[in-house]
Every structure is written in C-alpha cells, then in structure tokens.
Structure 1
Amino acid sequence: MPTNQQRRAAAKRKLQRQLERRAERARLRRRNTVLGAIVGVVVIAAVVGGVMVYKSSSDDKSTQAASTTSAAPPQPAAPMPARRATPFPDLVDCKYDPTPAPAAKPVNPPAATGIATTGDANGIMPQPMKIETAQGPITMWMRIADSPCTVNNFISLARQGYFNGTTCHRMTSSAELKVLQCGDPTGSGTGGPGYQFADEFPVDQPDKKPLLTYGRGMIAMANAGPGTNGSQFFLVYGDSKLPPSYTVFGWVDQNDLQTLDKIAQQGIVGGGEDGQPVAKVEITAVTG
C-alpha cells in the first residue's frame, strides 16, 4: 500500500502533467491563430496582387488597343501628288531669309534648325490644324515628311496668332483654277511675314510636267516666284491645273470641304472669275 507521502507525490506529478498539457494546448492554439492570420494576409495579398496584375494587364491591353485602333488621318478628297523623289532625313535645317518688305504683322521667324520630318507611316502630322472662320471650320492635315519647312512655318505663324483677324482676300472660279487664297494680314495680296523660304514639294520632282493637277482639298503655298514663300497659302475647292511651282503641304479634311463649297457658291465680288469673295472669310483662330 502506498503511503500518504507517495500518494501526495503521485498527485503532484499528475497535476504537473495536466498543467503542462494545458500549456502545450494553449501554445498550439496561439500558434495556429498566428498562422491563420498570416495565411489570411497572404491570401488577401495574393488576391489584391492578382487584381492589380489583371488590371495592369487589362490597362496594357486597353492602351495597346487604343494605339492600334487610333484613327489614322483621313484620306484627301483627291489623290496627293507622288512623294518626294529623295526623302528627307529625320531632321533638317530650314532657311527663313529676311525680305526687303517688313512684316505685315509683327511676328518672329520660326525655329530653323533640327526640324523633324517624321510623321505617321505616310509622313502626316498626327494631329491636324483647324482654321476657324466666320463661314465654318477648315481642318487641315499636313504632310511634314515632304514639306517640313513649310509645315514648320505654318505652325509657327498659327501659334503666334499671325492669321487671327485676317481675311481670305482672293478667290478664283475659272474652269482651270478654283482656289481660295488666305494668309495676308493686309488683304491686298502683297503682305507677308517679313521673311521668305525655299520651295519644297512637288517642286523637287525630276519628271514634273508643265501642268500638275492640284486636286480638290489640297493646301499649297502662294508665291511671287521661286523661293518666295511666306505666309500666303491657298485652299483648292475644285481640281485645278497649275505649274508644279507651288509647295503642297497638306489637305482639307473632307468633312470641312463644305465650308469651302459654301464660300465658293456665294461667288466673287463683281461677278468675275478672280477677285475678292462675296462671303467674308475672316479667320478668327488657327489651333492645333
């Protein structure tokens, strides 16, 4: 028979084992609770990360889709002349030489060095310029690859507000020539920006014919002879036959040809084939 002392010692050992088991169970519960919290955080992070990756992937796809589906510049109403015989390098220098006559309106010559010639695959500026007139808008698409110094000049004049408040002073309506001429602040046909620059496209064509069709919608520079480009330009509202001596630098968006038609339908002052248009074509702004 165990003595009382032995029974007390056995009871004490039993209690000690129970306490140790309870402590172990408590420790395991705490560990499992911590592990569960960690797993939960990891799962949440993974879900959030997955959402972020998916969203990023979706955004990338959206961006790619936007870039691949962005609208290309619309085609001109009439075919443009063939491209330059010899393409320009990516950057060119231009010369804007002072003229004896002062500027018809205060303006600075454009930057002349490092002018880019790259546009889209067809050499077109990705964004158009828009001429706002009292008769309606005239949206212009410009081909910088073939006439970079001309496009550079037009953008410079537009951004300096040179064309604002000027009128398109001349219109022709013969069978061979249907154009509206603009860009002279004096309205006399003699005003310019105080500098001039060389002809570009299609003057460079080696096989140019005596007459070239400047098709409906084309935009070209008016001049007083070789190398006298300044600020005056003309908009072709009907196919016209001209010597290839006038630099072509873009075309009017087909949606805005109705503005030119509206002006042409009102005729010329005095009823002739060359003179001031009856419709007052005031340019209020050129933006782009």
Structure 2
Amino acid sequence: MASNDRQAREERARLRTYQARQEVHVRKQRRRTRDNVIAAVALVVVLAIATAAQLLYFNGGPGTPEAEPSAAPTPTPTAPAGENQGDVPPADLAGDRTWTGTLTLNDIPLGIELDGAAAPQAVSSEISLIQSGFYDGTTCHRLTKDAIWVLQCGDPTGDGTGGPGYSYGPVENAPADDLYPAGTIAMARAADQYSHGSQFFIVYEDTTLPGDTGGYSVIGRVTSGLDELRAGITAAGTADGATDGAPAVPVSITGFTIE
C-alpha cells in the first residue's frame, strides 16, 4: 500500500515537472513569436520610411532631386506658381520631329533621340541649351538605386539647385502607367509643374515614379551605350553607399550634340 502511495506521489511530481516545463516552453514560444512579429513590423516600417523618403525626394522634398528651383535672372519672391518664368525658348523650336544626337558622359557616348512632337516645350528648351554649349563640363550630381534607378544631370552648380535662368511647364508626355523604362530621358522638376529647367535624368533600369503630382516630362530615350553607362558609372553606386546621393564615379558631360 505504501509502495502504491509513493508511486502515485512520484507520478504526480513527474506530472507537475512536465507541466512546468511545458509552461516554460510555451512562454518561450510565445516570446519568440512576439519578437519575430516585432522584428517583421520594424523591417516593414524601415522599408516604408526609406521608400517614402526617396519618393518624397522625387516630389520636391529635401534636396529636391528633380528639384530645380527657379533661377531666373531677377527672381521675384511673389512670382506665382503655374507660370513660365524668365526667357523660355519658344516651344516651336522642336519642329514637331525627332532629333538625334550623342550625350557623352566620362567619354562614354550615349546615342539619344529627343521627341519634339511628344514634348515640344521641353525638347525645345533642351535643343537651345545643347546648341548653346550650356551643358559642356557640367556634372551628373545624383544617382539613385533600389526601386528608383536614375542618374540626374544638367545642373551648372553641381548640387541640384541650379538651372538655366528660366523655368517652364507644364509636364509633357508623362507615362500613364507611371513606368519609365530603362533608357528613358526625362526632365527633373520640383513639385510645381512649372519648375522644369536644365536638369534631366536618365533611367538606367525600369523605374516606377509617382504620378500623383503629374509625373515627369519624357523627352526621349537612350538608343545606344546604356550597358556601358551601367558598367562604367551606375554599377559603382553612390559615393557613401546610400541609395540616393552623389555617384561613386564622378560624372561629367564631356560632349552633347543634337541634330
């Protein structure tokens, strides 16, 4: 009888020990699940913030990527938005036709086409700037990667704030689906659609850009040399390793012709 009682007590003790271990295991599992959920949420938040920051940068945010604040010779603080400012080249200069030429970056020649029929004002401005030698020796000050893949050029100050002394708009020939295929050449701008100037960007991988503020004026495309551009410039990324910043390989426009 005593033996049976002792055996029962031992079984109850083993059961309590097992139950205690099970409870510890369950708590650990719950804690591990909670930690995994927290880590996943944190990762999503970080990615969302990074993406939002880059998209904001493409809509007149800090540093204004497409931003080219009006650089008119006599800037007027009360100048209204939504109007051309300064001596803008006439829109009929583009001649309703396709222009061909060569944009040379660090001695890498890119064959280009500019569509004067699709974006007459923007292409007219570019023709005027190219033919006047405006771009000679200017730099490509900005490279983006990860979701947005563009190389931005055409600022005479080299920091993203300069322009040709005028600004114009509105947006022309923006893609309806917000997709800018690799090779696209488009004009950079700030939030105001009438803030186009001399800055443009080359899309080196398919990129989707937000169209809620009107998109970006597509003026043409790269017809040759894009692989060389990737290998010689964009593959190196940015100088500080960030997803958006100055190119690791300094880039200058060493030639720009159009006909």
* TM-score normalised by structure 1 residue count: 0.56
Q: Which runs of 5+ in 2 are unaligned?
A: 1-68, 75-85
Residue in 1 that maps onto 2:63: none
Encode CA deviations 1:269-288: one digit per residue, 9 max, x unaligned: 11111000011211122112
Asked if structure 2 preserves the Cα contact closer than 8 Å seen for 1:173 and 1:273, the reply is yes
For 1:114 and 1:173, locate their aligned partners in 2 and report how far apart those are by CA, in whole Å. 36
> How many residues of Structure 1 are paired with residues of Structure 2 in the alignment?
174
Residue in 1 that maps onto 2:54: none
The alignment partner of 2:152 has SS state of: strand
1:110 deviates by 5.2
Residue in 2 that maps onto 1:145: 117
Counterpart check, 1:190 vs 2:161: yes
Q: Superposition pairs for residues 216-231 of structure 1, below 5 Å? A: 216-225=182-191, 226-231=193-198
Residue in 2 that maps onto 1:242: 209
The alignment partner of 1:153 has SS state of: helix
Residue in 2 that maps onto 1:42: none
Structure possessing the higher relative contact order (Cα contacts under 8 Å, 6 or more residues apart): 2
Residue in 2 that maps onto 1:256: 225
Asked if structure 1 preserves the Cα contact closer than 8 Å seen for 2:70 and 2:163, the reply is no
For 1:279 and 1:162, locate their aligned partners in 2 and report how far apart those are by CA, in whole Å. 22
1:131 deviates by 1.2
Encode CA deviations 1:216-250: one digit per residue, 9 max, x unaligned: 00000000121110000000000111023110010
The alignment partner of 2:158 has SS state of: coil
For 1:229 and 1:153, locate their aligned partners in 2 and report how far apart those are by CA, in whole Å. 10
Counterpart check, 1:168 vs 2:140: yes
- Who wins on radius of gyration, i.e. which is larger? 1
**Alpha-carbon RMSD:** 2.2
1:140 deviates by 1.2
Asked if structure 2 preserves the Cα contact closer than 8 Å seen for 1:135 and 1:259, the reply is no
Counterpart check, 1:179 vs 2:150: yes
Q: Superposition pairs for residues 49-198 of structure 1, below 5 Å? A: 99=70, 101-102=72-73, 109=87, 111-112=89-90, 114-119=92-97, 124-125=98-99, 128-174=100-146, 176-198=147-169
1:114 deviates by 4.1
The alignment partner of 2:179 has SS state of: strand
For 1:285 and 1:182, locate their aligned partners in 2 and report how far apart those are by CA, in whole Å. 13
- Structure 1's 116 and 165: CA in aligned 2 closer, same or farther, altered over 3 A? closer
Asked if structure 2 preserves the Cα contact closer than 8 Å seen for 1:218 and 1:235, the reply is yes
Encode CA deviations 1:90-149: one digit per residue, 9 max, x unaligned: xxxxxxxx945549xxxx945426445432xxxx33xx1211221411221011111011
The alignment partner of 1:219 has SS state of: strand
The alignment partner of 2:122 has SS state of: helix
Encode CA deviations 1:192-224: one digit per residue, 9 max, x unaligned: 011111133334x7xx45xx1111000000001
Asked if structure 2 preserves the Cα contact closer than 8 Å seen for 1:110 and 1:156, the reply is no
Asked if structure 2 preserves the Cα contact closer than 8 Å seen for 1:146 and 1:200, the reply is no
Residue in 1 that maps onto 2:173: 202
For 1:278 and 1:153, locate their aligned partners in 2 and report how far apart those are by CA, in whole Å. 29
For 1:169 and 1:247, locate their aligned partners in 2 and report how far apart those are by CA, in whole Å. 20
